A and B are shown apart, each in its own frame.
Chain A
Amino acid sequence: MKLPDLTELALRNLRESVLRNSLTTIGISVGVASLVAMLSLGIGLQQLASRRLMKSGLFDTVVVTSRRDLRNFNREEERNGPAPGESRILDEPTRLEIEHLPNVVEAYPDIRFITELRYEDKPHLTMVAALPPSAQTNDAFEAVQGHFFSSDVAPEAILQKAFAEELLGKTPKAGVDETSVAELAAPLLGKELTMRYAQREAASIGPSKSANDNSTAPADQSLAGAAYSVVSREQKLKIVGVADLDPESMRGPTRARVFLPLKLAESLHVMQPTDLREVSRAAGDEPVYSSVSVRVKSPSQIQTVEDTVKKMGFNAFSILDASKSIQQFFKVLDVFLGIFGSLALAVAFIGIVNTLVMAILERRREIGIMKAIGASDGDVKRLFFAEAGAMGILGGIVGVALGWAIGQVINLGTNIYLKSQSFPPEHFWSVPWWLVAFAVVFSFFVSLAAGLYPAGRAARLDPVQALRYE
């Protein structure tokens, strides 16, 4: 029998016992829906996680340090690489060299220092770090109160929530809901902070070289015999933003609570801890960086860049491996969710077998007639397969729609909840096109498999017996 005829006959047969076949098809739909729902949730969560992690800048960043920096990330390298004393210095030419490597978006020095900030004449000691303009896309600044730096040299600061609390003299009470960022930001935005810092100045050049209007009288604090002197200075900063999340959560104890624009921070020539270490070999005014953050075009190129940088004689570190295990986790999660989804489909599978076996009993005579007038075993088998397949495709399509609808409802419900908890809405439910296609095809093949036994049984039916059956 030709395929169009087969399909037509199958659909007509399905319409004949519309209730039973509809129920079976609904069974398949529920199975497919649960499969789609589970997998969508898995995929959605994975996408959410990787979106968050991507934006966090963790997965496209390689942190480069000099081998001279003994706070090594990798003890192995330390042992195998060249002796720290012989390795290269991480200075401006090296930074440029790294920045010009293929696939590198930017390489910016990691400027951070502990210093004193005065707010309303009260001193606060904290870690200050510089942020490149690209940090604007960082996840942590998505929900920032106020705004990001207006320019890379603007005398502005963004505070971390905890520091804002400190400035306002609020200490979070245990067990009580934290103060909202908006509440903290309101009195602080637009206010001024005075940062007092130690400026590193080349000894040969006058103190006014990088001085700005806010500098106070430079006390003569030059270090005798060194290539530079250290001058105490002040810088006024306008508070433009308060960030809820911690953009440097990965930094652990060295994470900063106040952020400055990178170019501004560079121009301040703040004394860095490495400066002291490099004192014996520092030449001139060129700063030496303790570490340089290298942003790579995409996480897939991390490894290449990391290897190249290592070959240049530096330590390089990325959390690529961590991301790998996260991806692995989600793959495993997908498999588990898929298995749960498939359980429902397995029940539907049995439903199809049952329906078709019942159909054989009911249509025994009809099968006998068809055989008597010339239907081959193959024709009968294919007819039952077509019926199973049609139910599968139909159930698959309805199931995908149902699964999608369930997802939308759950997404909506969760977002209403998130909103009530004053969190930004999230899209953690994703039904990609491949999943739609996969679900329908899967449902089709599962149904065909379910039709295997009934179709075989129908085909083997003895026509003489079948015709005798009333």
Chain B
Amino acid sequence: MSSTARSPQSAPIISASAIHAEQLCRHYRMGETLIRAVDGVTLTVRAGEFVALLGSSGSGKSSVLNLIAGLDRPTSGSVTVHERNLAQLSREELAKYRLHTVGMVFQSFNLIASMTLAENVELPMRFAEVDREKRDDLAREALARVGLQARMNHRPSELSGGEQQRAALARALINRPQMLLADEPTGNLDSHTGTEILNMVREFNQQLGMTVVMVTHERALAERYAQRLIFLADGKLVGDESNLAVAAEPEPVRAEGGQQ
């Protein structure tokens, strides 16, 4: 990770490559037909970048995200995150990678319904074997950061979509990952709430220097927040453009090892 001190004027916005995919393929066999969900994608995302993956449904954007997240393995090609080739990691190592290096948010929030918000946020720390006392404090802190301190002991079903997504964000960031992967984070939210969530994501991106990869099909939203737009169609990369409007915004970012 890059580690220069914050100096907005002179430092390059992004230094090292956080994600590098090389001829990335993910093919499924469905009966007789071969589905090429991801078909030879090569791309590089630099640390601290806010990237949007755009494309219509079935374009393979979620599949790429799952491969970056270590939830899935490529059929061929490689995906390297912070110098680690995910294809070569064992299942156990991949789980560790998901636990510490990436945080994920989903369209359907994916909070565990039987748990309170605090417990949901605490869960990754249980897997990381963080001490109980420390866990309680950190969970409270994380929920306070997304404005849910009053809702700690509520279950997800008692909350609005926006609140659930904020809790999911708090959970995704609880182990201080270097990267946030968001799969249609606003897909289930009204535009106002969606904006609220993405403002938060941008805040994390800018303040914590976190690399963000967001899958969306809403181009307008992507243009408003992402520094770079990557277009996929039929599993192939069909466009990659810098979003100058966002990239030029003040408060540019450099990564700081994912630490706060």
Contact = CB atoms under 8 A, between A and B. Distances in A.
The residue among B71, B96, B99, B104 with the most chain A CB atoms within 10 A of its own CB is: B71
B94 to A, nearest CB: 9
B3 to A, nearest CB: 25
Contacts of B114: 12-13, 16, 366
Interface in B115-134: 115, 123-124, 126-129, 132
A373 B72 contact: no
Contact of B106 (A12, A371, A376, A467): A467
A373 B126 contact: no
Given A373-B99, A374-B100, A374-B124, A2 B129 contact: yes
A373 B91 contact: no
Contacts of A365: 110
A376 B127 contact: yes
Interface in A1-43: 1-2, 4-5, 9, 12-13, 16
A375 B95 CA distance: 6
Contacts of B128: 374
A350 interface: no
A272 to B, nearest CB: 85
A371 B112 CA distance: 12
B171 interface: yes
Contacts of A467: 71, 106, 110
Nearest to B106: A467
Contact of A1 (B92, B98, B127): B127
A5 B113 CA distance: 18
Interface in B127-145: 127-129, 132
A370 B123 contact: yes
Interface residues of A, number: 26
Given A9-B126, A463-B71, A464-B66, A374 B110 contact: no
B66 A374 contact: no
Given A372-B98, A376-B91, A376-B92, A464 B72 contact: yes
A368 B96 CA distance: 15
B53 interface: no
A464 B126 CA distance: 22
Interface in A370-405: 370-379
Nearest to A369: B110
B110 A372 contact: yes
A346 to B, nearest CB: 31
A167 B21 CA distance: 111
Contact of A371 (B98, B113, B132, B171): B98
Interface string A148-181: 0000000000000000000000000000000000
Contacts of B124: 373-374
B69 interface: yes
B127 A464 contact: no
B99 A374 contact: yes
A158 to B, nearest CB: 74
Contacts of B99: 373-376
Given A464-B66, A464-B71, A377 B95 contact: yes
Nearest to B115: A12
Given A12-B114, A13-B114, A372 B69 contact: yes
B136 to A, nearest CB: 13
Interface in B70-95: 71-72, 91-92, 95
Contacts of A368: 110
B24 to A, nearest CB: 15
A376 B123 contact: no
A30 to B, nearest CB: 28
B164 to A, nearest CB: 13
Contacts of B132: 4-5
B227 interface: no
A373 B126 CA distance: 11
B89 to A, nearest CB: 12
A454 to B, nearest CB: 18
B92 A5 contact: no
B175 interface: yes
B20 to A, nearest CB: 22
Given A9-B126, A12-B114, A467-B106, A374 B92 contact: no
The residue among B112, B115, B127, B175 with the most chain A CB atoms within 10 A of its own CB is: B127
A467 B110 CA distance: 8
A12 B113 CA distance: 12
Interface in A179-221: none
Contacts of B91: 376-377
B110 A379 contact: no
A1 B129 contact: yes
Contacts of A4: 132
A371 B123 CA distance: 11
B61 to A, nearest CB: 14
Contacts of A463: 71-72
Given A16-B114, A467-B110, A372 B96 contact: no
A372 B104 contact: yes
A201 B72 CA distance: 109
A374 B95 contact: yes
Contacts of B123: 370, 373
Nearest to A6: B126
Contacts of A373: 98-99, 103-104, 123-124, 127, 171-172
B154 to A, nearest CB: 16
B116 to A, nearest CB: 11
A376 B91 CA distance: 8
A369 B95 contact: no
A4 B112 CA distance: 20
B96 A376 contact: yes
A395 to B, nearest CB: 22
Nearest to B112: A366
A16 B112 CA distance: 12
A384 to B, nearest CB: 15
A464 B172 CA distance: 17
Nearest to A379: B127
A372 B103 CA distance: 9
B95 A371 contact: yes
Given A371-B98, A373-B99, A374-B100, A1 B106 contact: no
Interface in A217-270: none
Q: Which 5 A-B pairs have the closest CB atoms?
A: A374-B99, A376-B95, A374-B98, A5-B126, A16-B114
18 contacts: A1-B127, A2-B129, A4-B132, A16-B114, A369-B110, A369-B112, A370-B112, A373-B99, A373-B172, A374-B100, A374-B124, A374-B128, A375-B95, A376-B95, A376-B99, A376-B127, A378-B92, A379-B95
Given A365-B110, A374-B99, 4 more contacts: A9-B126, A374-B95, A374-B98, A374-B175
